[in-house]
Structure formats: C-alpha cells, structure tokens
Structure 1
Amino acid sequence: MGKIKVTINSIAKACGVSRGTVDRVLNNRGRVSSETEEKVRKMAAELGYKPNSLGKALASRKKHYIIGVILCSEGNEFYNDMIRGIEQAEQDNTDYGINVLFRTMKGYDVDHQLRLMNELEGRINCLLITAINHHKIAQKINSLTESGIGVLTLNTDIENSKRVCHIGANVIESGRIACGLLGLLMRGKAQVAIATNSLKLLEHHQRIEGFLQAKEDKYPGFHIVEIFEAEDDDMIAYMRTKKLLAQKPGVDAFYIGGAALGICRAIEEAGCSDKITIISCDTNPT
C-alpha cells in the first residue's frame, strides 16, 4: 500500500491547532508563539511532511489555476470515490490557488460532451475528462491543446488526440486476466456472454479486446454467445440479460464490465445462480 499523503490539514488536526497556524509556521509567515511553532514543526517531522513545490509555485501566481473536470458519472456509482478524491485534492490545495470546475453527464452523448467542453473553454487552465471515443471529441481536445489548455484523459482514453497523458488502468491486461480466471474456473470450456457499459468508450473496447486475445491464445473452448451494452443502467442490464437467458439457455458464464447489479438480479430470478459463473471488474457500492 502507498503512503498516506501528509497535508497541512492532517498536521493541524494532530496538533489541535488551526490550518492557518500550521501554514504560518511551515511557510514562515505571520506571528506564532515559539511553543506552538516547536509543536507544529516536531509533528510535521514525525509525520514525514514534505512541502508541495508545485503548490508553492502556483501560490506565487496572482491568479487562480482552474482545473476543469468532465465525467460521464451520473447514474454510475463507480465514479463516487474518484469524485471524492478530486474534491479532497482541491480542498488540500486551495491555498495554492487551485480550484476545480466540475461538469457531469449521464450516458455517452457526443454533442452533450462537446457542449460541456465548450462551456469550460476560456475558463480553465487544464481539463480532466472521461472522453467519449469519437473523432469530434478528439478534434476538440486537439483544439484545446493548441490553445494552451492541457487535456488529460481520466479512466478511459481516446484515439487520435493530442491529449497530454492518460490516467487509468491497463484495461487490456484486465480483460486478459478476467479471461484467464474464467478459464481456470470453467476448465477451458464455456458459453460466455459479455456485458459492457458502452462501446462508445475506448476503455470498454479494450477490456473486451484483452478478453478475446486471451481466449484466442489459451481458451479455444470458449464460445462468445453475445456481447451487449448495459448503458450504465441496471434496469437496461436486467432486461437485456433476462432476454438473453430466455433465448440462449446454454449460457454458463458471464464477463461483466458494468451494471452488474441488474445482470445478477436477472440471473438470480431465472434460477441460474448456481449454473452461471460470473467474472466482473471494478468495485461499486452495490
């Protein structure tokens, strides 16, 4: 496990003083009693506090540094922890002039995402985005980049763009591992249904790509019965799974990349819980 980041807030809590007092001590500004200063510096050393050099540089700027965030997160609990992390990071760095402008959307409508990007343009210094894998979005990213706004893709990447970098997991490898686990559980033979949230996201394409690569390499006894989209909606997932099980009763394995609750509910109601092996990815509260 990685080390917990030590912040001015955590030092303040440990010392029982205000955040402003810790800031004055560590940045040598303002008047603080020698006793309090000694207490704060000792606690900072014990906790292993390291000053944020980037933050100090940003703090010296006259204007705020605004980070835009666009997430396809509405109705998808997967993003809850991510949003909390971004909000916490903003809070930790408020003194350095860093602020976040959030925009969220439900589903994967290209024109909607373009409108959000246009809305933030001119108001932000950089953009974090769960980008829909579409040439219009790539073109907009390229336009923002050329205007001096750095764009980073978050959780899912996009093809043919000038984005600075991608922040996310190796989803092709995730798909390969999922296929390997299912291969062990099913002893190399299965009638497999694959459910993903939306093929408009490169992440979901790549996850399935990894699964199919491993199937071709090691598990020729796997037969892919159907690949369907759940669209980040448990009811849609439920209805499509129910229909699939009625039409293709031989399905004995599922690889789930989204809306797992709706899929599992349909499997349970069909009386197939003990007949179908499920491999899923991501952790959701449900």
Structure 2
Amino acid sequence: MVTMKKIAELCGVSRGTVDRALNGRGRVNAETAAMIKKMAEQLGYEPNPAGKALAARKNHPVIGVLLPSEGNAFFDDVIHGMDRAASSYVIYGLTVRYYSMKGYDVDKQLHLMEQMKGKVNALIISPIDDARIAKAIDALVDAGIFVVTIVNDIKSSKRHCYVGSDYFNGGETACALLDALLGGKAKVGIVMGSRQVLGHCERLEGFRHRMEKAPGFSIVDIIENGDDEICSYERTKHLLDDHPDISAMFLLAGGVYGACRAIMQLPEQERPLTIAFDSVPSTVEMMRKGIVKAILYQHPTRQGRMAISIAFEYLVNGRMPDKKNYIMKNEIRLLENL
C-alpha cells in the first residue's frame, strides 16, 4: 500500500508537505506540489478511506439535483437510484438537495438554477434544450460547479458529462419494432413530450431515419403533451378522432397513461398497436390491459445511481469523468419479461 510517508521519502519532503499538497491544506510551492501529485499518480496512491471521509465532511459537499419530475413517474426511479447511491456516501458528509418542476418552462428552470447559486458544489440537471439554459450551465461551470446532465442533454454547453440513453437509437429501435410487428405497413400517430427537449427530438429523428427502410410506413401526425397526463389524454383523443385510420401509436416520452386512456375509448378491434418507453406502474398496467404491446427500457435507476457516483468522485476524490457520455442501452421489454 502506497502511503504519504513513502511519497514524502521519494520526493525528499516532509509528510506534512505531502498532506498539504494532496489535500489542498495550507501553502505549498507550486513546483513541489506538482512533483508530489505526479509521484502520487505514478504510484497509484489512494487516500485512506477514513481520512478521506473526515476531509470530505469538513468540506460539506452538496449536490443539487434539478429534474422536471412533478407529474412524471419516470423520474421516481431516477430519484430512487440517486437516493441509493447517496446513502452509501453518508460517511463522507455528502448532501443531496432536490429541486423539482413540472414540464418544460425555461424561466422556471432558470429560476431554480439561480436559487442554487452558492448552495451547491455540483449540479445534476435534466435540462431544457434552450440557449438560455446552456448559458446558465456555462456560468455555473465557470464558477467552479461540476455539472452532469441526466436523462436529457443540451446542445453546446460546458457540462462535464451526460448520463442517459441514446435517444436516436431509441427512435430507430421503436420503428424497427413496429415494422416487425406490423409487417412493414402502418399509419403512425406520434405523441411526444416537447420539442424543447433534445432527447425527444432525437428520438423522433431516429424513428424517421429508420422509416426510410419501411416504405409502407407514414406518420399521420405528431402531437406534444408536455409529459402531462391530462393534456396527453385530450390531445390523443383529438388525434384519434381526426385520424381513424391510425394503425400504430408511438408514445415516445411521458404522458403514456393519458394517451392510453384515450386509446381505450376506441372499440377493441380499432385500437392501434402501441409502443411506449419505460416500465412505470401505470404503463405496466396498460400492458396488462393489452393497450401497450411493448416498451423500451432506459434503466432510470441506474442513470440516477451513476450520476450521483460521478459527482461524488469529483467532489470527494477530485476525479474528472473518464468520458463525456455515459449511455444506457435501450432494451425491448414485453409483459412477459418485465
């Protein structure tokens, strides 16, 4: 085991100097500090867990989590994963503060980000894809805040990494699944959350891209529901009333239960084949009722756990992410393999 004493001997300095250099305590000549850190890295030095925990508790690391989780059951599993990860870091004094919102209101998200200033050392956020949000993220990073995007990403920001699914592939997979189930011919109605969400747009783009291999497919209409169940019900009902020839429904985001309630009002023989995302309880209920044929699973609990772990590693161990994107594989699930 490599110790501070060993590093001190090899660098020709005192153990106290090594401690100050590696833990940022007191003043150490920049050249000496660089030499010590390089030696520690070469030797694979790992701080003593008890000492590391004591040092972390003194710093009181705080992670802020900002999610559009109100009324969206998908985020329940994300938060569950976060809570599980955070519980294992209690010894380090880690605190996780949750900030929630409903839907995709840019001003609301900016307001909550503003509230966090000076209160958090890291931010995990499911961002709205808007230039003002990207600018706010950049400002936080410039101020020394570690930023992880989760579930959804954002264009052109300085965020440190993204944890979530491959949305483009999710759309491709959904189209390929419908193609296999319907024999290459379908008139598709699509229900999405919001065009302000990068992932939703990428999922739609992936679906359209895969449609090039299915000439018998056509998109009848695309509606947005803001991931709101009531809105989803009302707009899906209008969609089905206006287009009785729809043979397939692709529910590419939240609001699945509301959309399915609208589908249930049709006579059984006229109901379109429907696929959706994620195994939240209300969607599983609709699978049992035969309304949803299959789902694509994005591993929400794993997403939450990984995001907290990445932020912890940075705050407590000073480790930057080893890649920019941590992608969860989209998995097709039927009622039989949930």
| TM-score, length basis structure 1 | 0.78
Distance 1:239 1:65, change over 3 A: same
Within 5 Å, which residues of 2 pair with 1:254-265?
254-257=249-252, 258-265=254-261
Alignment partners' CA distance in 2, 1:191 and 1:228:
15
8 Å contact 1:56–1:96 — kept in the other structure? no
8 Å contact 2:264–2:271 — kept in the other structure? no
Alignment partners' CA distance in 2, 1:240 and 1:170:
27
The corresponding residue for 2:244 is 249
8 Å contact 1:58–1:65 — kept in the other structure? no
8 Å contact 1:55–1:93 — kept in the other structure? no
The corresponding residue for 1:66 is 62
Distance 1:55 1:264, change over 3 A: farther
Unaligned runs of at least 5 residues, structure 1 = 1-50
Aligned length in residues: 235
Distance 1:248 1:102, change over 3 A: same
Which of 219, 223, 226 does residue 224 from structure 1 map onto?
219
Unaligned runs of at least 5 residues, structure 2 = 1-45, 283-338
Counterpart residue type for residue 183 of structure 1: D
Shift of 1:57: 3.1
SS at match of 1:178: helix
Within 5 Å, which residues of 2 pair with 1:82-231?
82-216=78-212, 218-231=213-226
Query: For the aligned residues, what is the CA RMSD?
Result: 1.8
Does the alignment pair 1:237 with 2:239? no
Alignment partners' CA distance in 1, 2:227 and 2:149:
19
Distance 1:277 1:231, change over 3 A: same
Greater relative CO, 1 or 2 (CA 8 Å, sep 6+): 2
SS at match of 2:147: strand
| TM-score, length basis structure 2 | 0.67
Alignment partners' CA distance in 1, 2:50 and 2:82:
16
8 Å contact 1:192–1:225 — kept in the other structure? yes
Shift of 1:285: 1.3
